[in-house]
Amino acid sequence: MSANIESIKAQDDARTSRARTEQLAMVQQDEATGLREAITSGRTALGIELGSTRIKACLIGRDHAVIASGSHEWENQLVDGVWTYSLDAVREGLQDSFADLMADVDQRYGIRPTTFGAIGVSAMMHGYLAFDAAGDLLVPFRTWRNTSTGPASAELTELFGYNIPLRWSIAHFYQAILDDEPHVPDVAHFTTLAGYVHRLLTGRDVLGVGDASGMFPVDPETRQYDARMLDQFDALVAGRRPGLKVTELLPEVLPAGREAGRLTAEGAALLDPTGTLQPGIPLCPPEGDAGTGMVATNSVAPRTGNISAGTSIFAMVVLEHPLATVHHELDLVTTPAGDLVAMVHCNNGASELGAWADMFGQFAAALGHRARQDDVFGALFRAALEGDADGGGLLAYNYLAGEPITGLEEGRPLFVRTPGSRLTLANFMRTQIYGAFGTLALGMRVLAGENVAIDAMFAHGGIFKTEGVAQRLLAAAVGAPVAVGETASEGGAWGIAVLAAYMRAASEQGDPGLGAYLGERVFADAALDVVAPDPDDAAGFAAYLERYDAGLAVERAAVESI
């Protein structure tokens, strides 16, 4: 009798399993059919971001979920002492990333889209792309990595009473004037990489306000270039360049939600030489990678911020009010909507951590235990949680390059300890992670001195992949809760796609404001993991930071001696 019951039960379980499988297949088929219809009808948004090492294309649907993606790897070049990318590399990378996206759509859904609901372009901020009246590039693209603008930066900062970092476009332009570079008389306009690509696609010389704020200071009241500083600059250069009006050389500024042009026939042919893509698609204002990072982490409201950790590391904090004084550690930029943001930008991020992980991986392989890089990182990061709160007296600097915040023009990665320090794997790894956050913490300390309130910081980047380690130590370093969520991993290409979708929604349904749109339509159901500062970690990091600040003399000596 019991055997028959078991047999009947097994048959019922099998039928239930088959029914669930069939139901799931039907749901997936319906979803795929709906996505195909959305793609065919153009109810999508395309985002393209040109990062430092990768150009990524991201296609999203009306629910802002990723439908397909494509990418292209590239690297900057050091040419005659200038960090640059060629314009041919820009065009080729655009085409390759777009072709990769189209292939992904075809492979997933069996179609190749001819249109999109909206397009957005983003790229690394700052730098200098100068063109003559015919649209020809006058000098090689000078990226954010170039730090040859010291005299211009210092003079403009003093003149404006506003910090002008080395990498800002106006610093590059004024330095060219100071150096009497022969191309200066022929400059008809200059822009950022995102602005250049947007012009290729639409024919319009325009920037989103966030990216524009890294070219020339923006007045948060008007969301336009600061009128007083424009006049000051023109007066400053009048003796060298009579009649120059810098506002005539800068891109038009638009806030998020506004249409910034339409894809031209030439732009469509550039993106898609096969002729499949049709012109006429509206584009949102082009933005910088800092702005798209804010969007991708829902960090556009006052008292919120985000931290991006990669090759460099930077924090963006949306301000409730202007800062009281000028600080060379803090850049003042804006959100894509034009609200004032304090930016702590550090040239050195997680690269040194990667170098140590590679070495430990080689050590494991030498012992006959080959391990995947993710496993090596995971083991090392988890060990860091077992270390002393202050790192055991050890000290690490991740300075592969110079660091303006600490006044260093060059870098030398260093690991230093005293005879009485406690050298263990746990302390070593905690110190290395602390070192990645050290310069950032010094900049954040300046913000704290300005009584800037922060409710939460949203973190994103590969360093946070090992759950609960870098996030916990970062919370101790910045003295605020740190949130990590799934959407941050989508990156800036997704962020600019969301801005494109926002523009389309604003034109069709009315503009709710960027913050409301993100909060109510994009992130309403987003899952977040929030970690508050642990008191012991916070006290330990504070002790470490004192040692780190004092030890900068060792770093300076290394730069001078090695």
Q: Mean of the pLDDT values across residues 254-265?
A: 98
549/562 Cα distance (integer angstroms) = 21
Instruction: Give yes or no for residue 130 having a pLDDT over 80.
Output: yes
Give strand pairing partners of 355. none
Comparing 73-82, 323-332, 395-404, 488-497, the range with the smallest average pLDDT is 488-497
- Note the pTM of the prediction, 2 decimals: 0.85
Predicted confidence (pLDDT) per residue in 457-469, tens digit: 898 877 888 989 9
> What's the angle, vertex CA 130, arms to CA 127 and CA 132, rounded to 5?
175
Is the same domain home to 70 and 145? yes
- The answer to whether 44 and 110 are in contact (CB under 8 A) is no
- The answer to whether 293 and 460 are in contact (CB under 8 A) is yes
Is the same domain home to 183 and 71? yes
Q: Mean of the pLDDT values across residues 71-87?
A: 93
Q: What is the pLDDT of residue 25?
A: 46
184/352 Cα distance (integer angstroms) = 39
Query: Where does residue 491 fall: left (phi above 0), alpha (psi -120 to 50 degrees), or beta otherwise?
Result: left
In a domain, 302, yes or no: no
Q: Which two tokens stand for residue 461?
A: 């980047």
Comparing 187-196, 248-257, 302-311, 533-542, the range with the smallest average pLDDT is 302-311
31/8 Cα distance (integer angstroms) = 34
Is the same domain home to 159 and 63? yes
The CATH code of the domain that includes 277 is 3.30.420.40
Is the same domain home to 237 and 355? no
Which of 34-38, 67-71, 405-409 has the largest mean confidence?
A: 67-71
Task: Count how many domains the chain has.
Answer: 2
Q: What is the pLDDT of residue 453?
A: 85
In a domain, 196, yes or no: yes
For residue 20, the surrounding DSSP H or E stretch is: helix 2-41
Comparing 32-36, 70-74, 360-364, 409-413, the range with the smallest average pLDDT is 32-36
| Full domain range(s) for residue 446 | 351-487+528-561
379 CB-near residues (< 8 Å, 6+ apart): 371
Q: What is the pLDDT of residue 462?
A: 79
Is the same domain home to 281 and 404? no
Is the same domain home to 509 and 546? no
Instruction: Give yes or no for residue 414 having a pLDDT over 80.
Output: yes
In a domain, 431, yes or no: yes
Instruction: Give yes or no for residue 196 having a pLDDT over 50.
Output: yes
554 CB-near residues (< 8 Å, 6+ apart): 395, 414, 416
Q: What is the pLDDT of residue 308?
A: 85
Instruction: Give yes or no for residue 26 having a pLDDT over 50.
Output: no
Q: What is the pLDDT of residue 159?
A: 97
Is the same domain home to 422 and 517? no
In a domain, 341, yes or no: no
517/45 Cα distance (integer angstroms) = 15
Q: CA nearest 175: which of 151, 192, 195?
A: 151
179/199 Cα distance (integer angstroms) = 28
Is the same domain home to 534 and 397? yes
Predicted confidence (pLDDT) per residue in 1-10, tens digit: 455 666 666 6
Instruction: Give yes or no for residue 352 having a pLDDT over 60.
Output: yes
Q: Beta strand pairing status for 304-309 and 313-318?
A: antiparallel
Is the same domain home to 281 and 391? no
Instruction: Give yes or no for residue 521 having a pLDDT over 70.
Output: yes
Comparing 195-199, 454-458, 465-469, 484-488, the range with the smallest average pLDDT is 484-488
Is the same domain home to 272 and 404? no
Model confidence at 11, pLDDT cuts 50, 70, 90, reads low
Is the same domain home to 174 and 276? yes
- Say which residue, 7 or 491, is predicted with more confidence: 491
Q: Which two tokens stand for residue 164?
A: 């002008």
Q: What is the pLDDT of residue 2?
A: 56
Task: Give 369-413 as a 3 state SS string.
Answer: CCCCHHHHHHHHHHHHCCCCCCHHHCEEECCCCCEHHHCECCCCC
Q: What is the pLDDT of residue 525?
A: 85
Q: What is the residue type of 192?
A: T
387/223 Cα distance (integer angstroms) = 47
In a domain, 5, yes or no: no
266/272 Cα distance (integer angstroms) = 10
Q: Mean of the pLDDT values across residues 176-195?
A: 98
In a domain, 434, yes or no: yes
Q: What is the pLDDT of residue 309?
A: 85
Instruction: Give yes or no for residue 176 having a pLDDT over 90.
Output: yes
In a domain, 22, yes or no: no
In a domain, 387, yes or no: yes
Is the same domain home to 104 and 248? yes
361/142 Cα distance (integer angstroms) = 36
Q: Mean of the pLDDT values across residues 440-457?
A: 90
